[in-house]
Amino acid sequence: MEQSLESLDSLDTIEIQPVVNRFGPTLTLLGGSAALLVILALSLVDGLPKLPFYVMLGGALFTLLLGILKCNEPKVSLRLCPNYLQFFHKHGQWTLKWEDIQRIDVPKLGISENYEALNYVGLKLSSHHLILSNISLRLARSILLEQRPVLMQAIKSDCPDGTCPTDLLFEADEFTDEQGEHYNGLLAMLGHRMAHLRQMLGFDLYLPATALDRPLEEFVTLLRRYHSQVQQQDA
């Protein structure tokens, strides 16, 4: 259930239900029912052109697949608790203490008034170690794939003529974090990705708008207020 900004007067746990899995059961039911009806019609009707039925069957199957994919997404994408912020993904999860989050905002490309807001909420962390030491390889791989468009947009913004080196597109498979911990493979690549994005956009992690339950700016306000109240409580 969506928590209004006005009612945020205590540190109750808030669970965010993402827009990405809305209407999943409805689409699954509609798509499945439509597909069965088209198949039944194809078996009973003779002498009519089959192409329109095949087109309708394709649309029904697409709707069914979309509904199934939505149903497979986590019911809760984020959990705001007094001690931590938790993110849920179909391939894993990560947890951060509020004290380890230094900045929350919508990433922007460009400068001054000539900027483009990205469709994400950015989190700047006190250390990359906080994520790299507690994330699964499956989730690390998903983040690398899903946040590649963010990297591409940042590179394009810094180099509009397309003639800049493309080294940032290929993360090295060795990385040492701020704690001196050494990583290889996917975790090393994720470490380099976070370092590159922090340098270009100022943030390490990016929450997509599809994982949220309200407009970006409203969600930033919610996170900031919750973060602020946690700090006041701990002071």
Structure confidence by residue, pLDDT tens digits, 192-205: 999 989 988 999 99
Q: Let me know: does 20 contact 74? Beta carbons within 8 Å.
A: no
Answer yes or no: is pLDDT of 1 > 90: no
Euclidean distance between CA atoms 134 and 52, whole angstroms: 52
pLDDT at 158: 66
Helix axes 185-201, 137-146, angle to 10 degrees: 40
Q: Which pLDDT tens digit goes with each residue over 56-80? A: 777 877 766 666 666 666 788 899 9
Residue 27 lies in a domain: yes
> Percentage of the chain with pLDDT > 70?
77
Same domain, 52 and 136: no
The rounded mean pLDDT for the chain is: 81
Residue 7 lies in a domain: no
Phi, psi (rounded to 5 degrees) for 102: -95, -30
Same domain, 39 and 108: no
Euclidean distance between CA atoms 18 and 73, whole angstroms: 9
Same domain, 53 and 143: no
pLDDT at 98: 93
Same domain, 114 and 219: yes
Q: Which pLDDT tens digit goes with each residue over 148-185? A: 888 888 887 766 555 555 666 677 788 888 888 899 99
Euclidean distance between CA atoms 44 and 77, whole angstroms: 45
Same domain, 142 and 220: yes
pLDDT at 103: 94
pLDDT at 67: 64
> What CA–CA distances, in Å, run from 105 to 36, 40, 43, 101, 115?
47, 52, 56, 11, 14
Same domain, 61 and 172: no
Residue 88 lies in a domain: no
Residue 176 β-bridge partners? 182
Residue 86 lies in a domain: no
Residue 192 lies in a domain: yes
Same domain, 105 and 33: no
Same domain, 59 and 113: no
Residue 79 lies in a domain: no
Same domain, 34 and 123: no
- What would the mean pLDDT of 40-69 be, rounded to a whole number? 72
Q: Let me know: does 82 contact 205? Beta carbons within 8 Å.
A: no
Same domain, 200 and 156: yes
Same domain, 58 and 132: no
Euclidean distance between CA atoms 76 and 79, whole angstroms: 7
Q: Which residue has the higher pLDDT, 210 or 60?
A: 210
Note the pTM of the prediction, 2 decimals: 0.73
- What would the mean pLDDT of 20-47 be, rounded to a whole number? 69
Of 72, 107, 135, which residue sits at a domain end?
A: 72
Same domain, 214 and 154: yes
Number of domains in the chain: 2
pLDDT at 25: 64
Answer yes or no: is pLDDT of 136 > 50: yes
Residue 4 lies in a domain: no
Residue 34 lies in a domain: yes
Domain that holds residue 67: 19-72
pLDDT at 221: 93
pLDDT at 6: 45
